[in-house]
Amino acid sequence: MKITLVGTGHVGLITGTCLAEIGHMVTCYDVDRDKIQLLKRGCLPFFEPGLNEMVKKNTENGRLSFTYSIRDALLNSEIIYITVGTPMGTDGQIDLNYIYTASDQIAEHITNKVIIVMKSTVPIGTNRIIKERIQAVSSGRASIEIVSNPEFLREGTAIHDTLFAERIIIGSDSKYAAEVVEKINQPFDIPIFKTDLQSAELIKYSSNAFLATKISFINEIAQICERVGANIEDVAYGMGLDSRIGSKFLRAGIGYGGSCFPKDVSALIQTATMHNVDMNIIKAANVVNQHQQVVLIKKAKQRFGSLHNKKAAILGLSFKPNTDDIRDSPAVRVMNILLDEGVQMTAYDPVAIENVRKLFGDDIYYSSSIEGALVNAEMAFIFTEWEEIKKVPLSKYKELMSSPVLFDGRNCYSLEEVSQYPIEYYSIGR
């Protein structure tokens, strides 16, 4: 099928590329001309493992193209995916301005029967609003059906999550539209669940809120472990053996971040509040995560007292491995606090350095290697469990730091291994 994607960010580019991979003719549109020119030159605007090769393959075979002309993008298009960003505003509510702009652009240029597929994560009820908005702006020039088809991509594994997903959710009040989108996705050979618009919207938010709650739960148990002398890794493993619970998302650490969990949890709470529903469990998960992100600061202050003029190595800046995304990264939040405390920081990350440099400028130092960040440091913080960080020999901390004090926010090293080295080691729940 001929498919147009409006919005070529993380979700849009990956979705479009994977749809081209299974045989569809895909045009990716974005208002950002620099981004489109970059893609036309074969360069990606963000880091995602395996994506560069797949984009190159499908542009060369003619199934994937890019444009900043909305007219060209929508010419004779019958299937239009909306994949623009839905950031969280300062008031905690979802900013739908990009969604409204995209829908108005679509309405101005369509003249035929069109199915709008909402891939962006939007508050419950938004799809109905968008359908009415497009119909009003288009003045009846086109027949509109809308489908909610939420994404469940994890940055760093997004291609795998698309090609080998556990389910595809299709929500629509139109049987015809739902069947068309089902046909589009059939080559993935993934279980498809069809439902109504609101349920599809809520499945996305509920899924992320549950996973966020699971993370916060195990982090609260980690606090008990530290007080009573238990090991959170053993506790989580024992819990995970129960098939009703499972082991995923039971890793204690400094909490969740990124572009999805914080935003989606906040949006679900906002929606519930609008409908006079208390979300006590989800609110608590959010509060626990806020506290958890700064737990290493508390540990450092207990160890050093004043942190003023201390030299710190910061290892890992992205909110998770295999991405350069620093949105709501715990590392960024903690670094801002460390700056206020007067800490001199040298930061390292395999791919996120430039994004962090845009935030902090010359307020911190940057290193092109882990070893460079550790030299003469009085303390080191691990915020992101990149494989190369996890593989750093503990002897390096002793060898390079002026005082080997390590605050590990991701429990990268086993306690048994650490006990063999003259290192002060502080982790989570152990």
Maximal CA-CA distance, the chain: 74
Q: Give yes or no: 260 in active site.
A: yes
Side chain identity at 397, as an amino acid letter? Answer: Y
Task: Specify the 3-state DSSP secondary structure of 157.
Answer: coil
Assigned token pair, 48: 């995602």
Q: Using the 8-state DSSP alphabet, how is residue 253 labeled?
A: S
Alpha helices in 229-329 (DSSP H): 232-240, 261-274, 280-292, 295-304
Residue with tokens 């090769």: 53
Q: Which of 359, 355, 329 is nearest to 256 (CA)?
A: 329
Give, to the nearest 10 degrees, the angle between helix 197-228 and helix 126-138.
140
Q: Which two tokens stand for residue 133?
A: 């908005």
Amino acid type, 358: K
- Could you tell me the end-to-end alpha-carbon distance of the chain, in angstroms, rounded to an integer? 53
Q: Which of 18, 225, 260, 412 is catalytic?
A: 260
Q: Please tell me the distance from the alpha carbon of residue 318 to that of residue 297, in angstroms, as a whole number.
A: 18
Q: How far apart are CA 178 and CA 173, in angstroms?
A: 8
Phi, psi angle pair for 105, to nearest 5°: -60, -45
Single-letter residue type at 117 = V
DSSP string for residues in 59-74: HHTTSEEEES-HHHHH
Contact 85, 96 (CB under 8 A): no
Do residues 26 and 99 make contact, with C-beta atoms less than 8 angstroms apart? no
149 touches 119 (CB < 8 A): yes
* CA distances (Å), origin 288, targets 92, 197, 327, 378: 17, 31, 19, 29
Bridge-based pairing state of the strands 379-382 and 311-315: parallel
**Among 24, 3, 267, CA closest to 117:** 3
> Looking at the annotation, which residues are catalytic?
260
